Amino acid sequence: MRLTALDEPAEGLGLKRGQGLAEARAMYPKIDVVEEDEAADLVLLEAIADWCDRYTPLVALDGRDGLFLDISGCAHLFGGEDALLKEVLDRLLQMGFDARGAISSSPGLSWAACRYGPGGVIAEDKTQDVLAPLPVDALRVDETTISSLHKLGLKRVTDLLRLPRAPLARRFGAYLLLRLDQALGANEEAISPRRPVAALSAERRLAEPVEAEEHILHLTGQIAASLTSGLEKRGAGGRIFELVLFRVDGRVFRIRAGASQPLRDPKRIAGLFSERLSAVQDDLDAGYGFELLRLNVLQHEAFKASQNDFTGQHQSTVSLADFVDRVSARLGADCLQVAELRQSHIPERAEVFMPAIAFWTVKQKVDEIFAFLPKTSRPLRLSVIPNPWRPLPQPCRTGLRSVFAGAGLFMKSCVPRARNGFRPNGGLMRRMWKSGIIFAWKAKLAAGFGCSAKAITIAVIQLQPGGFMVSSHERRTKFLRDRCQDQLLLPGGGCKT
Amino acid sequence: MAPGATAQETLFALREQIARLEGKPVPALAAAEQARSAIVPEGQEAKSLHSRLPFGIASMDDALEGGLPLDALTEIRSLLMGDAGAASGFVLSLAAYIKAKDTGEAPLLWISDVFATQEAGIPNACGLRQFGLETRDVLFASPRKLEDALWIAEAAVASGAISATILEIRGNLKHFGLTESRRLSLRTKAAGRPLFILRHAAEEEASSALLRFLAEPAPASERRLLDGSVLGGSIGHPVFRLTLEKSRNPAPLSFLLEWNSRDRQFSLVRQTGEAFSRPKPAAHSGAGIPALADRQDRPPAMGTVLAFERAS
């Protein structure tokens, strides 16, 4: 076991990172050692990265203890690079973190400068001066390369800069030179941001933190109004919005809300969040208030500007979209669904439920034309869970009769009609269907249910010997037990007795 | 003369107001609205006059005072979970009928609570289509809690963008009492959009619904051929056995109603002897489900049950 991190008093004692725990204990028996929790460290680093979103949308994690911030075009918002760096470090210090930072034209140089050098803002022309005196460890290459460099007496970057490049590449590989070039800014290096950059975003910094929900909503409306011109310029309306709330103590909340139609109207955007906020109320702990609000448009689509016609028809589509948005924002997109027909003989495969919020934008008239329509009549409802029937001795005629007798049905005769239209389609259902033999029976049910004798088609899947599962198409035989004359629940068939 | 006329005017105004509150058609009111709608051909006034949708069956329309109320709560209950098919079929046929008469593109909303979905099943798009409802015209909501269901129902009615709202619940729930139904009924009155409450396996309960039907399954009549004869042994259009339990009309009404999904029309079915020869059904597993814990409070049965003394 080795030491991975030290606090200030421990550093004062002369302990070092990478030192063996036994050795450290031998030197100072009373030191307090805590086992490392990498997951917790990562969570903390992520939280700091979230907080850093206030400075730039491009924040990347660097190893276990570093962050890269791409501040191109952001520094002037905070009064220049010096002021920005000072603000970040000051605020982190207030939160209780000992952080160092550097701003330079390349990520490699910033990394080297803040870990091995003085840090601070490095001007474009000072790159070589800053990098040269740093140890070779500052080049972000692997341990073996470092140790072999050390063996050759190449201890500082300046030693490498003086040497011809070809022999270096031959001896240590091209990676070392790539890292060197990246640190010097001669080779481009991209950081990988944690989140995609929002297409459009606007924010509001507050001198006095807000806590109340209505204030947040009011501000959201104002921010949305400032987004309008950006959306108009693109001829677009937002489909997915994200409200980012930065709490005073550094915690960040992200609240997403979707719309069924591209939106531009600030009132309706704020309306989305009013439902959303009431839904997430328990999770949203305002604490001492939020000091920064940002509204991101994560996804936008072409805005179909429509004119009101004289009959006021337009109004109803708007209110429908509003209703769908409100319900989806408050109770989740899955709460409100629309069924869509699919081409399948199997009843439960013939329909797919999709969220209404996604459905209303795409008008799938084509699908409806080609939709599969069964010849036989289908029930209005399908049971969610198949009803198992057991025991059953064997899948013979008498066996089947006993099944239905057990279910309260009386059967006069039972003629098997093998695989009558109940064929598994596609590979999706095959696994389930493969496990059993499928029988389709034309069964004749006797009178005694309040109706004359009717013929119905019944499909039975044998799942295992001794147990039958009645297929969804016929699940409503469960209801037949009570009321055979319930025609809605009958699969029909219309066969003659 | 003049003060008397003014007093008369005030009296009539008050009478009309009361009539409006009670939802009763008043001749003077109807005449006034007819005059108004003649001036304003399209608008809110014209809509409020047509707040009843006639079924086209004289005896039924008379009993329902003009037809199905479009601006009020209508409750449909079933006795057992096993009757869920008939009850939901009747509600959907009403919704399809409204949809057929309505030219707008407003969809129908079907709110179903978890318990009803588990017991009665999820909607089947193919079946709905055969029943006379287009797939894209039906929105399904499946909220987890009753409060959410009530909220959706209220929002849907208030939005005015839904042609008919169906709220499906099981049993007589404690948190869906008179207050909640009154609130929903006021919303429907204001919006002029119908709300159907579909109660499975429920008892009669005081609510602010204008009408309450008891829906039971009935045998379908046999299929009619073109020459007027019937095809023996065939299954025709679905038939519901309905009992009007609550209405302004004091006479109890029980009838068999057939829904023709092709023409989207209702028709009465002659009651045959067969319909009432139904034996008592076997106990369905659904009927064996214990009553809900959070049901409405009911007065306990009078008296107490005492054991007989031993004879010897």
pLDDT per residue as tens digits for the range B21-47 = 776 666 655 666 666 555 544 444 444
Chains A, B: CB contacts within 8 A come to 207
Contact B282 A337 (CB under 8 A): no
Tens digit of each residue's pLDDT (9 = 90 or more) over B173-217? 888 888 999 999 999 988 888 999 999 888 888 888 989 999 887
Decide if domain B55-273 falls under CATH 2.40.50.100: no
**Does A447 or B79 have the greater pLDDT score?**
B79
Decide: A345 and A351 in contact? Cβ < 8 Å. Answer: no
The pLDDT, as a whole number, for residue B277 is 40
Based on the number of CB atoms within 10 Å of its own CB, is A497 exposed (0-12), middle (13-18) or buried (19 or more)?
middle
Dihedral sign computed on CA atoms, order B166, B169, B175, B179:
positive
Chain A residues close to B154, C-beta within 8 Å: none
Contact B126 A490 (CB under 8 A): no
Task: Name the residue in chain B with its Cα closest to that of A446.
Answer: B233
Decide: B73 and B207 in contact? Cβ < 8 Å. Answer: yes
Q: How many residues comprise chain B?
A: 312
Of A65, A153, A73, the C-alpha closest to A111 is: A65
Classified by CATH at the fold level, domain A200-328 comes out as Dna Ligase; domain 1 (3.30.1490)
Domain boundaries, chain A: 1-36, 38-184, 200-328, 337-369, 388-489
Q: Which of A330, A380, A475 to mutate to test the interface with B (most CBs of B within 10 A)?
A: A380
Of A59, A356, A328, A468, the C-alpha closest to B139 is: A356
Separation CA B309–CA A418 (nearest Å): 64
Q: What would the two tokens of residue A412 be? A: 């006069």
Q: How many residues comprise chain A?
A: 497
Contact A316 B104 (CB under 8 A): yes
Tell me where in chain B the CATH 3.40.50.300 domain(s) lie. Answer: 55-273
The per-residue pLDDT string of chain A (497 residues; one tens digit each, 9 = 90 and over) reads 888 888 888 889 888 888 899 999 999 998 888 898 989 999 999 999 999 988 988 999 988 889 999 998 888 888 899 999 999 999 999 988 889 999 999 999 999 999 998 888 998 888 888 889 999 999 889 989 999 999 999 999 999 989 999 999 999 989 999 999 999 888 888 888 888 888 888 989 999 999 888 899 999 999 999 999 999 998 888 888 999 999 988 888 999 888 888 888 888 899 889 888 888 877 888 888 899 999 999 888 888 776 666 665 556 667 888 888 888 888 888 889 888 887 776 666 778 888 888 876 555 555 555 666 666 667 777 766 544 333 333 333 333 443 343 333 333 333 333 333 333 333 333 433 433 333 333 333 332 333 333 333 343 433 323 333 333 333 333 333 333 322 222 333 322 22
Chain A residues close to B89, C-beta within 8 Å: 380, 488
* Window 15-74 of A, Cβ < 8 Å to B: none
On whether ipTM exceeds 0.95, the answer is no
Taking the CA of residue B23 and the nearest CA in chain A, the distance in Å comes to: 26
Taking the CA of residue A454 and the nearest CA in chain B, the distance in Å comes to: 6
Separation CA B260–CA B203 (nearest Å): 29
Decide: A110 and A103 in contact? Cβ < 8 Å. Answer: yes
Tens digit of each residue's pLDDT (9 = 90 or more) over A339-372? 888 777 666 677 888 888 887 655 555 555 566 6
Helix (H) or strand (E) holding A340: strand A336-341
Q: What would the two tokens of residue A92 be? A: 């982190």
Q: What does the mean pLDDT of chain B come to?
A: 79
The pLDDT, as a whole number, for residue A124 is 86
Distant-in-sequence, close-in-space partners of B50: CB < 8 Å, separation ≥ 6:
B70
The pLDDT, as a whole number, for residue B104 is 75
> Phi-psi bin for B39: left (phi > 0), alpha (psi -120 to 50), beta?
alpha
Q: What would the two tokens of residue B91 be? A: 């509600």
Whether the predicted model's global pTM rises above the 0.90 cut: no
